[in-house]
Amino acid sequence: MSWAFLRDIHLYALLALLVGFAAFVLLVSAVRVSRWTKALDIVRTGFSKFESSIPRRASRWATTLVGVPFILMLLGYAMYLLARMGDFTMPATSKAVAHFGNSFVGWQSDNPEDWNGILFRFREVSGIKGDQSKWEDFKRSVGRFDIRMYRALFWCSLLVVTAGVIDCCRRKFIGRGASAIVIGIVLLFGMQAAWINRTEQFIRNLVAQYESACLTSGVAAVVPDSYPGFRSR
């Protein structure tokens, strides 16, 4: 189990409460063939029983350590896992939609060796090197964690679509299912577009930071000719 999510537990817990919980209730409603109010009661009851089974010491530990109740920490971790799953799925889905024509994200996808070379050289010249803590702090400073948020929300949108597909298999809830599918698909494309936009900003920011670090250190910056930023220089 990775504890890296604790650095941003409040963000993940908030996403779990505002978005993940609602998507899960819709899915339960579709699976149980019930109205969402009934599904909400089922989910609430389930969480209440689970929370009551948690030792008080564990709950106090979570509240003291990360500032949120234990149950919220677990929900936050679930959102963190969705974001981590997005590490593998979002680049693929982005490629499936041709990155919405974004040349920077397309370059990163088509030229992994060039991109990884810039990452390596930047970490060396900036002094980050193998320090993972410094690297995480840098990524946070240039918006990398916004990207993780969109990855988690992408999967929540997929849960909404799944609930809609299940509902459409039952005549009683076909209207609700169609609405869920439409809303879910709009959210899917919206999260994908947001992810692409933030990924471009991350690429631009990192390359600019790399060039600045090279200038400060008196080292020549090595940016491949394939980098689309050269076209606007």
- Is 2 inside a domain boundary? no
Which range of residues forms the domain containing residue 62? 7-218
Per-residue pLDDT, 3: 52
Cβ atoms of residues 152 and 139 within 8 Å: no
Q: Give the separation between CA 198 and CA 45, rounded to whole angstroms.
A: 38
Per-residue pLDDT, 132: 81
**Residue 139 C-beta-side C-alpha neighbours within 13 Å:** 16
pTM: 0.83
**DSSP assigned state of 4:** G
- Is 223 inside a domain boundary? no
Per-residue pLDDT, 4: 55
Per-residue pLDDT of the chain (233 residues; tens, 9 = 90+): 445 556 677 778 888 888 888 999 999 999 998 998 999 999 989 988 887 887 777 777 777 777 777 788 888 888 888 888 888 899 999 999 999 999 999 999 999 999 999 999 999 998 888 878 888 778 777 766 678 788 889 999 999 999 999 999 988 899 999 999 999 999 999 999 999 999 999 899 899 989 999 998 888 888 998 899 664 44
Number of domains in the chain: 1
Sequence-distant (6+) residues with CB within 8 A of 131 are none
Cβ atoms of residues 174 and 167 within 8 Å: yes
- Is 227 inside a domain boundary? no
- Is 153 inside a domain boundary? yes
- Is 226 inside a domain boundary? no
In single-letter form, the type of residue at position 67 comes to: G
